[in-house]
Structure 1
Amino acid sequence: MSDESDAYFDRIVDVNALAEFLEDELGPVEDYDVRRHQEGHSNETLFVTWGDRELVIRRPPPGETADKAHDVLREFEVVDALQGTDVRVPTTVAATDDHAIIGSDFYVMEREDGTVLRGAEPDRFATPEHREAIGAELVDRLAEIHEVDYEAVGLGDFGYPEGFTQRQVKRWSEQFEWAFEVTTDEREVPVIRDVMAWLKDNAPEDHPQTLVHGDYKLDNVMYAPGTPPEIASIFDWEMSTLGDPFTDLGWMLSYWWEAKDPEPPESLDTLSSTFMAEPGYLTREELVDRYEDATGFTFENERFYRALAVYKLAALGEMFFRRYLEGNSDDPMYPKMRDGVPALAARAQRIIDGDEQL
């Protein structure tokens, strides 16, 4: 590990203070180790060995963050509430808002065993039947989230589903403005203003009202060991709320590549797996059909929801770029957002114009 990486690790965790917290919660052990998970790009994830238990800690990145971003205690609340449901979530352990421990809010959960699909499919899934099952599982588990009786599990006050979709456009536009305070000195993204205006003018007023995950996509689920493909756990609930389920579906579809799609630019290579373009994987249309069958919903205004998804991803990228410029992350993906966000803005415009079909 480089000196720079060592310094960043020290910013996100005080290993001694964390040990004291875990000992109070779980009892003393002899074997203790903390490692930073390098794959995430938003909240920080730490892997902890505590005796014979393998744990995961989620905390926000250091430095100033955009309003309402990186809310790990909200993430804990929903995951904890879903423990007794059909939704496949990790087992929660503890949470705290005491910043004296590691400098931020954080929560602890059990570590799950399995495979997260990033970049390539595992060899055990490389058959037409298993490829089809990967997408089918992904859709079926999303439908389970949207079928949760959120009142019954204690999440009735978890959000305000009325007017959710319009607020999504407003919220992510505000995230852009927060990032632009710094990033426009480096370069501007004029296309995003056109996308922003179109989304404001075309946000649906009527939609189903469900629990939404907020970041549901292939690499935020874990497939269990073995075959056939079966999702063992769903992660990254930091943006979960009550709202419009079609925002989840549009988000999932925006990451699902097909052979007909243009290759993603190099600046987005860490955000764009393309292996699902291989023969056997369900198409986006087939994913939508399965979702509609499972939920009874009809997915209307698909251009809006797919464009909104890409717009949100671009806003995240712009926030990442601001964090890079301010020296508040060592993630090698963040500087790529200098070119990545303009590429995402152009993709959102293509969807709006009908040049990138479902």
Structure 2
Amino acid sequence: MTTSARTPTPGADPAVVGGWLATALDDERWRDAELAAIGAGRSNLTYRVSSPAGAVVLRRPPVGQVAATAHDMAREQRVIAALAPTPVPVPAVLAAADDVLDAPCFVMELVDGVVPLAQLPDGWAATADERRAAGTALVDVLAALHAVDPAGVGLADFGRPEGFMERQIRRWGTQWATARDGDDPIPVTADDETELTRLAERLAADVPATQRHTIVHGDYRLDNCVFDATDPARIRAVLDWEMSTLGDPLADLGLLLVYWQQDGDDRVWSDAQPLPSPTALPGFPRRTELVDAYAARTGLDVAPLPWYVAFGAFKLAVVLAGILARVRAGSVPADMAAGLDGSVGPLVALGHHVLDGGSF
């Protein structure tokens, strides 16, 4: 549903946004802007802004209190702009502001295409070969991102890569404590709490040596990419860079595998993936094929990958626990928790499974 410039929307009044864009983009037609919420994200808010001048995408942090670094619009805008001249496909940044809304925001190019969600659009990637090509493109773009020289694109100071994984464990451990100890108890069992804490301790006790410092996306997955509407082998844009920084590239691959569903998954994997995904359809690469393709393109040793998969499961469990906590506290809409009840425990079990030598 769109709203007119006379009807405010949560976190973005169309009249305010339209006036800002009229000045920033030097076109008075933006004053007649209409906003429509897009995407199914559970963190930052994304709006399609339409007017007689055209259409763009507005990004802003969620309304209410969130972790400061997780939704840093200035960082997201910076990394997208920096990657524009590289082989990594990103939308063009058109304008940014700190004082237009009640939080930093930016506007970027609207990239037309397909974002593969639970069900693929009719006629898109309809064959097994096309689905395999889409999976291959996903690995190719991830490898291209990890090949970018941060200093060469002005991102030498974008993060502190030394000690990255150790800090990540501490960071998400702190987030877990915040969700666990809030005013409203999170809906997880005492056993889940104990096992999540134990998983964090196991990860902290055996952190692999980082092989390479790169730009990392932080939440790289199929539905954070816009694919070409007629060519599933082409990714037109990678979205949702709010967690990007400099660090260990295998963290991106490990989390991608946690999200990746495949036909014939055993119970420990299927229970840890509560939301539907199209990647179990015939043709999409299996997780081991994604790993092999990534290793071939990057030259990285993937032997330590089980640790990174376990970390990805830990991180995602904490993220989902935080969402559930915010929903219970009433700080975000209840529909953000749709399908997530009972998701924390299975993710923790998956983390222990892969650390114990379980297959992926």
**TM value normalised by structure 2:** 0.90
* 2:293 paired with 1:290: yes
Give the CA deviation at 1:206. 3.0
Q: Alpha carbons of 1:213 and 1:9: their partners in 2 closer, same or farther (altered >3 Å)?
A: farther
Number of aligned residue pairs: give it. 347
1:84 corresponding residue in structure 2: 85
For 1:11, what is the secondary structure of its paired residue? coil
Q: What residue ranges of structure 1 are gaps of 5+ in the alignment?
A: 2-7
Give the CA deviation at 1:149. 1.5
C-alpha deviations, 1:316-336, integer Å up to 9, x for none? 111111211121111514265
**1:169-208 map, 5 Å:** 169-182=169-182, 183-184=184-185, 186-187=187-188, 188=190, 189-208=193-212
Aligned residue type for 2:293? R
2:103 corresponding residue in structure 1: 104
Q: Could you tell me how far apart the structure 1 residues matched to 2:125 and 2:313 are? A: 28
Q: Alpha carbons of 1:341 and 1:154: their partners in 2 closer, same or farther (altered >3 Å)?
A: same
2:71 corresponding residue in structure 1: 70
For 1:56, what is the secondary structure of its paired residue? strand
1:252 corresponding residue in structure 2: 256
Q: Could you tell me how far apart the structure 2 residues matched to 1:52 and 1:146 are? A: 36
Of 321, 330, 335 in structure 1, the residue corresponding to residue 333 of structure 2 is: 330
* 2:143 paired with 1:143: yes
For 2:176, what is the secondary structure of its paired residue? helix
Q: Could you tell me how far apart the structure 2 residues matched to 1:206 and 1:15 are? A: 46
* 2:357 paired with 1:349: no
Q: Give me the identity figure in percent.
A: 36
> Could you tell which deviates more after superposition, 181-190 or 83-92?
181-190
1:46 corresponding residue in structure 2: 47
Q: Could you tell me how far apart the structure 2 residues matched to 1:255 and 1:353 are? A: 20
Give the CA deviation at 1:152. 1.1
1:5 corresponding residue in structure 2: none
Give the CA deviation at 1:285. 1.2
Q: Could you tell me how far apart the structure 2 residues matched to 1:37 and 1:322 are? A: 23
Q: What residue ranges of structure 2 are gaps of 5+ in the alignment?
A: 2-6
1:211 and 1:242 in contact (8 A); partners too: yes
For 2:343, what is the secondary structure of its paired residue? helix
2:14 corresponding residue in structure 1: 15
Q: Could you tell me how far apart the structure 1 residues matched to 2:8 and 2:333 are? A: 10
2:161 and 2:247 in contact (8 A); partners too: yes
Q: Could you tell me how far apart the structure 1 residues matched to 2:117 and 2:338 are? A: 20
1:324 and 1:335 in contact (8 A); partners too: no
**1:126-137 map, 5 Å:** 126-137=126-137
1:251 and 1:305 in contact (8 A); partners too: yes
Give the CA deviation at 1:207. 2.3
For 1:102, what is the secondary structure of its paired residue? coil
Q: Could you tell me how far apart the structure 1 residues matched to 2:247 and 2:340 are? A: 29
Q: Alpha carbons of 1:52 and 1:21: their partners in 2 closer, same or farther (altered >3 Å)?
A: closer
Q: Alpha carbons of 1:80 and 1:332: their partners in 2 closer, same or farther (altered >3 Å)?
A: same
Aligned residue type for 1:353? D
* 2:233 paired with 1:232: no
**TM value normalised by structure 1:** 0.91
1:166 and 1:205 in contact (8 A); partners too: no
Give the CA deviation at 1:229. 2.6
Q: Alpha carbons of 1:335 and 1:256: their partners in 2 closer, same or farther (altered >3 Å)?
A: closer
Give the CA deviation at 1:45. 0.6
Give the CA deviation at 1:186. 4.9
Aligned residue type for 1:225? A
1:161 and 1:244 in contact (8 A); partners too: yes
Q: Could you tell me how far apart the structure 2 residues matched to 1:185 and 1:91 are? A: 39
Give the CA deviation at 1:18. 1.5
Q: Alpha carbons of 1:177 and 1:9: their partners in 2 closer, same or farther (altered >3 Å)?
A: farther
Aligned residue type for 2:72? D
Q: Alpha carbons of 1:266 and 1:31: their partners in 2 closer, same or farther (altered >3 Å)?
A: farther
Give the CA deviation at 1:269. 3.8
C-alpha deviations, 1:163-195, integer Å up to 9, x for none? 111111111111111211225365442210111
* 2:262 paired with 1:261: no
Q: Could you tell me how far apart the structure 1 residues matched to 2:131 and 2:28 are? A: 44
Q: Could you tell me how far apart the structure 2 residues matched to 1:331 and 1:147 are? A: 40
> Could you tell which deviates more after superposition, 117-126 or 158-167?
117-126
> Could you tell which deviates more after superposition, 303-312 or 29-38?
29-38
For 1:229, what is the secondary structure of its paired residue? coil
* 2:283 paired with 1:280: yes
